[in-house]
Amino acid sequence: MNNKPIYLFSISSHPDAISINSLDITFFKPEIDFSKYDSLIITSKQASKALKQYNKKEYINKPALCISQQSAKSFESLGGQVLAVGKGYGDTLIEKIKAYPKETKWLYLRAKVIASDFVFTCKEDGYIIDEKIVYESDCSEAIKNVNVEDDAILIFTSPSSVECFLKNNTLLDTHKIIVIGKTTAKAIPKNCTYILSDDTTIESCMQIARSLK
């Protein structure tokens, strides 16, 4: 049986894959008056890490709307309370936000570059969402210069992981491509076929990868 190598392009790792850190993260600490807000919006583990720069007493009583189970776990690990969880991509947060009164004051702790315009959509409808950029990500040297075998299984966990890979690499017909969610899928070149994970988790992607080996 030919064991195809599995490459995981993520800021997380998995013991059964060749884990390539896809991004270098830089954190920012803008001035934030948390008392002005009712709830937070968290769309990545990095946003929770950025919160560690602040006095916990200022934000810990603000429940968070989280984009995925992973981002929810990261906020809970700080001691925070999760308001609701989306399905792994930004557009699924729109209905969650609209389930609350328009008077609710939200604070979105975000990356410098974002893949979804859910905030714009909600603001257009009259919802109050302030945004603070608390981190930015750049392509890591590891992902730009990786050499993958022609028969490799490639797992992408974010649009940026696809974009960074494609800076110096090409997706081949012989590659098996797995993506963690619909937003990531949009970054895959149109001529490439891919498999969309059932759940927006690395483990779900790994289950597919194991079935392809």
In this structure, are 75 and 99 located in the same domain?
Answer: yes
pLDDT value at position 213? Answer: 81
The whole-number pLDDT of residue 155 equals 98
3-state secondary structure of 212: helix
Asked if 80 and 122 sit in the same domain, the reply is yes
Q: What is the pTM of this model?
A: 0.74
Residue 130 CA to residue 17 CA, distance in Å, equals: 38
Q: How many CA atoms lie within 13 A of 75 on its CB side?
A: 28
Final residue in a domain of this structure, among 73, 106, 138 = 138
The pLDDT, as a whole number, for residue 193 is 97
- What local confidence, expressed as pLDDT, does residue 200 receive? 85
CATH code for position 70: 3.40.50.10090
Which token pair is 112?
A: 């410098």
The number of distinct structural domains making up the chain is 2
Query: For strand 195-196 and strand 176-179, is the pairing parallel, antiparallel, or unpaired?
Result: parallel
Residue 110 placed within a domain: yes
Encode the chain (213 residues) as per-residue pLDDT tens digits: 358 999 999 988 999 999 999 989 999 999 999 999 999 999 999 999 999 999 999 999 999 999 999 899 999 999 999 999 998 778 889 999 999 999 999 999 999 988 788 999 999 999 999 999 999 989 999 998 899 999 999 999 989 899 999 999 999 999 999 999 888 999 999 999 999 999 889 999 999 999 998
First to last CA, the chain: 8
> Are 79 and 104 within 8 A, CB to CB?
no
- Write down the pLDDT at residue 1: 39
Measured in degrees and rounded to the nearest 5, phi and psi for residue 74 equal -65, -35
CA distance 130 to 202: 30
> Residue 11 and residue 142: Cα distance in Å, rounded?
11
What pLDDT, on a 0 to 100 scale, did the predictor assign at position 2? 57
Structural domain of 73: 26-138
Buried b (16+ CB within 10 A) or exposed e, 57-80: eebbebebbbbbbbbbebbeeeeb
**Domain termination residue (choose one: 113, 138, 163):** 138
List CB contacts of 62: < 8 A, sequence separation 6 or more: 34, 37, 38, 39, 40, 80, 107
For residues 65 and 127, membership in a common domain is answered with: yes
In this structure, what token pair is assigned to residue 116? 């979804």
Pairing of strands 6-10, 153-156: parallel
Residue 1 forms part of a structural domain: no
Token pair in block for residue 27: 């954190």
